[in-house]
């Protein structure tokens, strides 16, 4: 409780994701439901023109992200030509969007629904629905469906690596919490889930859809124990 109070005093509106979202809304920005700002004190969201900012539902904003609704580069032009040339543009971020660490979204950009933005990306133009983008400047590198198929294949190898590294570090098998992102490999809707796995099922506000898919999940192992025993 004391730590939370100190954090609130130091970081004020940026103390937590919830307080930052409330502050953005209070200042006139449109922010949807279940928006998560992972490191508010290390995130810059420009509200010099809050009416130009719209963030949809289920948007994940990770550490070090910058979102700008204006530019000040015109100051150089003023220094040469003497004119004040205003610079602003609306930002619209759709639903179900992940913005990777230290990415920057420049003014005037519209981001579609179901978009993944890779870490350290510079987004300076519109992004369509259902895609993965990365780079400086950010470019579409694959469709969301292609990334979905890639992740389905990659997750088993990554889970195995996680277990091996955990064993080397701690001399024992990882627990349920350590494997909380990989439990679909050895669970389905017929199993009772621990709280940390249930939490994952509730993410992004589509629990009903998740339960419908999970009940028919073709797990690769009958149990977490079987999965762990399969790894040398």
State how far the Cα of 194 lies from the Cα of 191, in Å rounded to an integer: 10
Antiparallel, parallel or unpaired: β 110-111 and 131-134: unpaired
pTM for this one?
A: 0.91
Phi, then psi, of 208 in degrees rounded to 5: -60, -45
Q: Residue 139 pairs with which residues in a beta bridge? A: 134
Q: Which token pair is 134?
A: 């990365």
Quick: pLDDT tens for 10-34: 668 999 999 999 999 999 999 999 9
The predicted pLDDT at position 11 comes to 63
The CA radius of gyration of the chain, in Å to the nearest whole number, is 21
Q: In the chain, which residues have pLDDT < 50?
A: none
Q: Which domains does the chain have, with CATH numbers?
A: 2-137 (2.160.10.10), 146-229 (no CATH)
C-alpha 49/C-alpha 51 separation (Å) is: 6
* 137 cis-preceded (ω within 30 degrees of 0): yes
Closest residue by Cα to residue 189 from 220, 217, 227, 208: 217
Res 122: pLDDT: 98
């Amino acid at each position: 409780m004391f730590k939370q109070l100190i954090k609130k005093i130091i970081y004020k509106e940026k103390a937590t994701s919830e307080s930052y979202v409330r502050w953005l809304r209070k200042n006139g920005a449109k922010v949807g439901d279940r928006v998560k700002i992972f490191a508010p004190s290390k995130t810059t969201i420009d509200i010099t023109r809050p009416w130009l900012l719209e963030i949809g539902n289920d948007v994940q904003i990770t550490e070090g992200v910058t979102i700008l609704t204006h530019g000040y580069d015109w100051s150089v032009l003023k220094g040469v030509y003497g004119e004040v040339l205003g610079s602003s543009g609306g930002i619209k971020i759709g639903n179900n969007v992940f913005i990777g660490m230290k990415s920057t979204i420049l003014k005037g950009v519209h981001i579609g629904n179901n978009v993944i933005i890779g870490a350290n990306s510079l987004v300076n133009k519109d992004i369509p629905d259902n895609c993965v983008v990365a780079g400086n400047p950010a470019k579409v590198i694959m469709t969301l469906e292609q990334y979905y198929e890639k992740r389905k294949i990659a997750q088993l190898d990554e889970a195995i690596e996680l277990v091996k590294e955990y064993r080397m570090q701690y001399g024992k098998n990882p627990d349920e919490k350590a494997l909380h992102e990989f439990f679909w490999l050895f669970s389905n809707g017929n199993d009772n889930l621990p709280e940390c796995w249930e939490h994952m099922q509730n993410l992004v506000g589509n629990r009903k859809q998740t339960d419908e898919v999970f009940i028919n999940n073709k797990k690769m192992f009958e149990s977490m124990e079987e999965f762990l025993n399969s790894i040398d």
